[in-house]
Amino acid sequence: MGTATANRFGHLCPSADRTDTAEDNSLTFKMTNMHPQRPELNRVTWKALEEHERSLAKEHHELYIVAGGIFDANPPTIGHGVAVPKADYKIIVVLGEGQSVESVTTSTEVIPVVMPNDPSVKERPWAAYATSVDEVEKQSGYDFLSSVSVDVQRVIEARVAVIH
């Protein structure tokens, strides 16, 4: 396909979230943690979601986060054939301090979003892109939350996030 010229690389896990050590921070600059993002996504809407994540963490929540891109069958490319995603997704599982996967229940807060990787993304707040885990799975082709019991998965993956 064609070349997408207006994209820059954006972090999936932001550098600002890994500042405990220089080594932790440097790992965020590996290409496995980056992919092409429009500036309107990276600097506006995605950034606002990252700020929300940080506020949850400051409230002593334990966050489990997965993020990635959603690609067309023949995506546009930049540079030496780097595929450009048509959208980015993120799934945030919000638990209490010290909790882990065993603590996930049908009432656990889960925040899944899919944001278009195009200039229009900045016209709406990040919460407008809230969806369900089932929808992220459908668009990405991945199976998420597989360590959670099937009965719990069935409930929390179908629920569209309500952002408060």
Tens digits of per-residue pLDDT, 94-145?
Answer: 999 999 999 999 999 999 999 999 999 999 999 999 999 999 999 999 999 9
Report the distance separating Cα 10 and Cα 38, nearest Å. Answer: 8
CB of 162 closer than 8 Å to CB of 85: no
In a domain, 2, yes or no: no
pLDDT of residue 2: 47
In a domain, 164, yes or no: no
pLDDT of residue 9: 80
pTM for this one? 0.90
CATH code for position 149? 3.40.570.10
Query: Average pLDDT of 39-63?
Result: 94
Between 54 and 13, residue with greater pLDDT? 54
SS3 category, 101? helix
- Count up the domains in the chain and report the number: 1
In a domain, 1, yes or no: no
Report the distance separating Cα 126 and Cα 121, nearest Å. Answer: 8
In a domain, 132, yes or no: yes
SS3 category, 70? strand
> Which sequence positions are flagged as catalytic?
11
pLDDT of residue 59: 95
Query: Could you read off the pLDDT of 67-104 as tens digits, one per residue?
Result: 999 999 999 999 889 999 999 999 999 999 999 999 99
What is the SS3 assignment for the chain? CCECCCCEEEECCCHHHCCCCHHHHHHCCCHHHEEEECHHHHHHHHHHHHHHHHHHHHCCEEEEEEEEEECCCCCCEECCCEECCCEEEEEEEEEECCCCHHHCCCCCEEEEEEEECCHHHHHCCHHHHECCHHHHHHHHCCCCCCCCCHHHHHHHHHCCCCCC
What domain range includes position 66? 8-158
In a domain, 95, yes or no: yes
Q: Band of the pLDDT at 6, cuts 50, 70, 90? A: low
